Amino acid sequence: SPAAVGFVSEDEYLEIQGITREQSGDYECSASNDVAAPVVRRVKVTVNYPPYISEAKGTGVPVGQKGTLQCEASAVPSAEFQWYKDDKRLAEGKKGVKVENRPFLSKLIFFNVSEHDYGNYTCVASNRLGHTNASITLFELPDNPIASRTSPASPGSASCPPCTV
């Protein structure tokens, strides 16, 4: 249980000044005297806060493959997500693209990536207390990144692709 900042016994209330989201949780009050058994009551404290994006994952995908952009946000109440590209909101049901929203995670899924899909996307997370956003990139990845970086070997010569260690 979170630690209490202040306690007032006569009026039977707990005062937590400057509460933070880390102080959310279950609190227990126990009243006792020499006459009867203690009476215990529990209360759940929920601290509401605006969203903050904890993870924004871009990805590299070859043309014609499936690609996913992810945006994870923490918020109470839960965040609602929206996706934008070039300041235009992406409409749900766009051909070949699906938005998958969960309470703390949104995925923008491309089923067959085309050249037109590459670029910067903006994930916006919002609730009644505020909003935040993150820029996430879908970038082109060659079909075979190893083959595209090597040169053909001549008969009788040694070949080693450039390496960085």
- State how far the Cα of 46 lies from the Cα of 112, in Å rounded to an integer: 42
pTM over 0.85: no
Give 24-61 pLDDT, tens digit per residue: 999 888 888 888 888 888 989 999 999 999 999 889 99
Q: CATH 2.60.40.10 in the chain, residues?
A: 49-141
The residues, ordered by sequence, that sit 6+ positions from 117 with a Cβ below 8 Å of its Cβ are 67, 97, 110, 138
Q: pLDDT digit string (tens) for 109-163?
A: 999 999 999 999 999 999 999 999 999 999 998 876 554 444 455 555 454 445 4
- Residue 83: CB atoms within 10 A of its CB come to 23
Residue 24 phi/psi, 5° resolution?
Answer: -65, 150
Token reading at 44 = 């759940």
User: Which residue from 114, 103, 105 is spatially nearest to 138, judged by alpha carbons?
Assistant: 114
Instruction: Report the top-level CATH class of 49-141.
Output: mainly beta
Residue 52 bridge partners (DSSP): 74
